[in-house]
Every structure is written in structure tokens, then in C-alpha cells.
Amino acid sequence: MKLDSTVPPPASRLRNFGVNLWAEFSSLANEHKATNIGQGFPDFVVPEFLQEEVRKAVAKPAANWYTRAQGHPRLVKELATEFSPLFNRNINPMTEVMTAVGAYEAIYAAITAFINEGDEAVIIEPHFDCYAGDMELSGGKLVRVPLRPTGDEKFAKNWKLDKEEFEAAFSERTKLLITTTPHNPVGKMFTREELEYIGSVCKKHNVIILSDEVYERVVFDENEHVRIGGLPDMWERTLTVGSAGKTFSVTGWKIGWALGPANLISQLQHVSSCSTFTAPTLLQEAVAGAFEYERGVAQTDESYFKWLSAQLQKNCQMLADAFSDIGCTPVWPDGGYFMLVDTATMGWDFTDLKTGRCYDVDCVKWLTREFKLATIPISVFYGDKNRHLAAKYIRVCFAKSDGTIEKACQIIRSFKKK
Ligand SMILES: Cc1ncc(COP(=O)(O)O)c(C=O)c1O
């Protein structure tokens, strides 16, 4: 398209922005009316208790007005009550909690608040894409360290950091370490020992930790969700990000939060106060009610969090079985929404892997077009240097309704026949 020369060009910080990954793959899925197990949004019906919280909220006049910019008072109090025992400390709701328009905004605020032009953030690769865009907007640079499969690569827990490589990534320019557990897209949950190690390196280099824990409520088997901000000496340097969208399977609500020490949280609030000012009051009120409800049923069969982990593990098993049946190899996750699947056996030529050419993008487009099954390529979660590590994997999301999972399994089993 020819640009109108009378209009000034966009800011140079946007120079590397093109079509957004999610927009591209979502529109492809829609165009082909594909069964979507790509993007991480649950498509099941909102449970009755959440619907009830919205009805109760909308009936309260003040829940329809602007609320406190740093976070709706009822929600920040709920979050402090919910997370204080999980971090083994008394979290101050007014100074150590900020609510945001989804985890996205909390991440944007954290990066904008601490990254100057030329600063670096070490990040564990593959990684969710938004950190890269936020760093670019701040003029910072991501230094990527890949998780490397060790031993049996069919288990996410065997994807590990190489300590030498990890430590070499830190320099005097490093301001942040960005980590995600449960991991998107690998499905790994970092163990206490791994997080203690990561924390000790961050402490040595005096680096702030941005810990994205949006999938914290989806935990399989005996795995434990360990919060790095709850480890000894770590609260002071850690910002922990969460999402009501992922916690209660209502991604369209876009309510998120950041927890951390007051001196860090107050900086995020500066960014938020001049971008969104406040997240929607109505939904903050409803999320507060949802946490209160869940706490009341936590140890019972009514617990939403218990149901969610069990349901998603069942879905994950169904998809893993379907892929295994056709000779693909799933990478079994510890928790979260996603599973990697090695598609090298699907008849595609992967002999070029070492050149960095990524077949996964073609593979995903082909599956969407020919089989009406939408997934996500993994190479888009990598920088250029390590992209070749990913080319044989696709990402599937199992946070889907029974109907979507059954349809997806049927389609996967039909791959063989084509
Ligand atoms: C790792 C990770 N962090 C953050 C987000 C964004 O969360 P929210 O929808 O609450 O903005 C996502 C969404 O997919 C994600 O996968």
C-alpha cells in the first residue's frame, strides 16, 4: 500500500513490527473454519459461579464506575488474601499488588518501567512472544538462552538450561530475567532446585526477575508450582504476573495482576496510570468474587481449580494418544495449557533442520488448509540463532471443550489416511 506522504511516518520504535503472529494464525484458522487447538483460549462454557459473580457485580452501582487506578480495592484485597500463604508472607494489598488489563499489561508495565535504551533482559527460550515486542518498544535487547532437551526429550521436565550458557548470558547491561512457569509453549514446570539456581544467578548480578505464572492453576500429577518470588531472598527482586483469564478460563475478561515489593510495583503503576489507568471495574469485582467463591470450596469436589487441572490433563492425554497413534511424538507437559508435538514423522522433509529453515510454519499452514486443524508453529517462539532447534515441533492447546478435543482427535487420526 502506498503511504500518504502528507502523513508523518510512525515512530521508529515500530520499525520491526509486522503482522502480529496471533492475528495471522487466527485469521488463517477462521478462513478455513478450522478446529482450533492452536491459540491458548478455552472455549468451554463459563461456569455458573462465574456467571453469578458478573450478575452480582453489575447490580452494584460502584462496580460500573471507574475504580482505584492501582487496582480495585476488593480485588487487590482478595489477591493479597489468596497469595499471602502461597508466598509465605503478608502481602500488602495496597502497595504490593497491582491489577492490569490482562497479564499482557502487567508485563508491558514491568518492562517499560525498568528497561532503558540498551538494557538487556535474559530470557529462557522458547518464549511467549509479547516480551520481545515490549523490549523492542523500550529499546532493550533480549538475550536468549534455550531450554535444551536432555535425556528423554518426550518429557517437558527434561528440557533444561545449560548452566554455563545461562550464566554467560548475564552482563553489566542485564536488568531483567524473564521466566515462565508452567511454561508456554514447552509445558515445563521449573522445579524448586532449578528456580533456586536461577534466583542465585539473578541475585549475583543484581537483576530483577519477571516471573510469568499465568498458568499456575493447571498442574498435572504430583508436580508442584513453585513461585520464585516465594523463595528465600527473592521477593525483593521479583515481579510475579498472573491472569484471571487463564485462572478462571475467561480469557476475554482481560484481568491480570502483578505482585511484588512496593518499590517495584509502584513503578509499574506509573506506566499503567498513563496507559490504561484502570482495568474494568465490573470484571475486577467479578474476579474478586470468583476467588472468594473458590476459597470457600477449595478442599471439596466443587473446586474449580481441581476440576481445571483434571480436565486439562484428560484432554492432554486424549490429544497425546491421537498423535501417538499416527506416529508423532508428543512432549508430555508438567502443567499449563500446551503440549509440543514432534511432527517429523508426518511425511515432511526435515533434513534441512541444521540450516535453520523452519518447516513447522509450512506444516501448520498445511494442517489448517488441508485438514482444518489449527495449531501453532514453535519456531515463532525463538530468536534467529536457535530457531532451528524448534523446526520439527508444533504447539497444541488442550484447554478446550470436550467437543473441540474430540473433533481434533478425529482429524489427527485421519492424517494417516490422506
Ligand atoms: C505466557 C503468557 N503470558 C501472558 C499471557 C497473556 O495473558 P492475558 O490474557 O491475561 O493478558 C499469555 C496468553 O496467552 C501467555 O501465554
Nearest-atom index, ligand 1, CA of 107: 4
| pTM recorded for the entire structure | 0.95
Distance 104 CA to ligand 1 centre (A): 6
Report yes or no on 277 lying in a domain: yes
**Tens digit of pLDDT for each residue in 94-106?**
999 999 999 999 9
CA-183 nearest atom, ligand 1: 1
State which residues form the domain around 349.
12-45+303-417
Among the three residues 297, 313, 347, which one is the final residue of a domain in this structure? Answer: 297
pLDDT one-digit tens code per residue, 190-217: 999 999 999 999 999 999 999 999 999 9
In a domain, 380, yes or no: yes
**CB neighbourhood size of 141 (10 A):** 15
CA distances to 35, 215, 378, 406, 408 from 323, in Å: 16, 23, 17, 13, 10
CATH of the domain at 37: 3.90.1150.10
Both 286 and 311 in a single domain?
A: no
| CATH of residue 211 | 3.40.640.10
Ligand 1 centroid to Cα of residue 7, in Å, is 34
Q: Is 408 found in the same domain as 347?
A: yes
Co-location of 313 and 221 in the same domain: no
Q: How far apart, in Å, are the Cα atoms of 122 and each of 114, 128, 174, 278?
A: 13, 14, 7, 29
Do 64 and 188 belong together in one domain?
yes
Say how many Å lie between the CA of residue 243 and the centre of ligand 1. 7
Alpha helices in 330-401 (DSSP H): 359-371
Q: How far apart are CA 44 and CA 389, in angstroms?
A: 33
Determine the atom of ligand 1 nearest the C-alpha atom of 39: 14
Percent of the chain with pLDDT strictly greater than 90: 82
Same domain, 172 and 314: no
Q: 399 and 369 in contact (C-beta within 8 Å)?
A: no
Q: How far is the CA of 355 from the centre of ligand 1 (A)?
A: 31
**Domain end: 246, 279, 297, which one?**
297
- 106 CA: nearest ligand 1 atom: 11
The confidence score (pLDDT) of residue 353 equals 47
pLDDT one-digit tens code per residue, 130-153: 999 999 999 999 999 999 999 898
What is the Cβ-side half-sphere exposure of residue 5, based on CA atoms within 13 angstroms?
Answer: 0
Among 124, 128, 339, 400, residue to substitute to test ligand 1 (most atoms within 8 Å of Cβ): 128
Contact 376, 395 (CB under 8 A): yes
Hey, which residues does 124 pair with through a beta bridge? Answer: 145
Residue to probe by mutation, ligand 1, list 124, 240, 243, most atoms within 8 Å of CB = 243
pLDDT in tens, 244-286: 999 999 999 999 999 999 999 999 999 999 999 999 999 999 9
Whether the upstream peptide bond of residue 185 has omega within 30° of 0, thus cis, is yes
Q: How many domains does the chain have?
A: 2
In this structure, the answer to whether residues 127 and 20 fall within a common structural domain is no
Residue 349 has pLDDT above 70, yes or no: no
pLDDT of residue 347: 65
Q: Are residues 197 and 232 in the same domain?
A: yes
Measured CA to CA, the distance from residue 269 to residue 113 in angstroms comes to 9
How far lies 263's CA from each of 13, 117, 162, 268, 325, in Å? 28, 21, 32, 9, 53
- In this structure, which residue's CA is closest to atom 13 in ligand 1? 40
Q: Based on the fold, state whether residues 19 and 120 are members of the same structural domain.
A: no
